[in-house]
A = this chain, B = another copy of it.
């Protein structure tokens, strides 16, 4: 690893210090500190503009008389078929969810395939059927696409990019910067199921009942929440980097503190067991069908009520609140009564989880 660290006196030709590494590491894609460093120093330093700098799950801009959200994600998950889903349903739901987290109704998705030579056509067919089903379930259309094939050993079976466009209804104002002291933090259900489902398959762990990914489209749940109350300030789905990383991003971007209680955060017994075996903290493990909503204190009860009536929000609960102290930080009351800082994920925990 040290060989990869940049020697500040080495005459490295880039005009910026960039990251502290000369070569890209897996951790640069992990959703934690190195990902943020890469995005800030390499991408944002050049691409900076008002829209990109929102650092939302998508960009929000006007087209004609409408406000649109536009989002993109490439999916490189390994394995491409897993308990509870596959790369196709993940690619549809992931982008649908990114749009929903901007408060948008997702409408149109693109799909772009990078296929490794030798992929069985039957596997591609299964993925395509799954994308079709996921698109129908989420109520979106797959409207444009692209197919590339790379030589054997230059890809890994299948990568899929989906980008998507949605429309933001009038009166909806969702943005990470809007978290305000006093706001309540709602979590829609138990965490870490997607990441642990993938890691269990990779590590060959066996349980009495198999842990399933929670991969699901969240736009229906968000519709119901916004219909109940427009005072939703922030929505995020805790994917790569998990609940801990998403809360850190919100705290940083809104310049507030976030206080959560460990004993309130739901983790299924099986997932907790797997986390112990694998050495993971569930707070950092990816979810693909859960959301965090930051809502005004007044709105919390009405939002929770509609969530409880939706299949994907039955177990929704308040896990903490936004505070004026600890600006930019996430602080957790632990089970044993102490307090600890929950930092952003550092290093690589779960490569290629989405």
- CB within 8 A of A144: which of B21, B52, B151, B351? B52
**Which chain B positions have C-beta within 8 A of A111?**
47, 72
- CB within 8 A of A112: which of B74, B135, B154? B74
Shortest Cβ distance from A113 into B: residue:
B74
Bitwise, A17-45 to B at CB < 8 A (1) or not (0) is: 01101111111111000010011001100
- CB within 8 A of A22: which of B59, B115, B120, B153? B120
Shortest Cβ distance from A302 into chain B, in angstroms?
30
- CB within 8 A of A147: which of B35, B68, B125, B132? B35
Oligomeric state, in number of copies?
2
How many interface residues does A have (CB within 8 Å)?
86
Bitwise, A157-189 to B at CB < 8 A (1) or not (0) is: 001010101010000000000000000000000
Stretch at the interface among A8-16, A285-293, A339-347: A8-16
Given A23-B121, A72-B110, A128-B43: A150 touches B156 (CB 8 Å cut-off): yes
The interface of chain A, by Cβ under 8 A from chain B, is 12-14, 16, 18-19, 21-30, 35, 38-39, 42-43, 46-47, 49, 51-52, 56, 58-59, 61, 63-66, 68, 70-76, 78, 108, 110-122, 124-125, 128-129, 131-132, 135, 141-151, 153-156, 159, 161, 163, 165, 167, 351-352
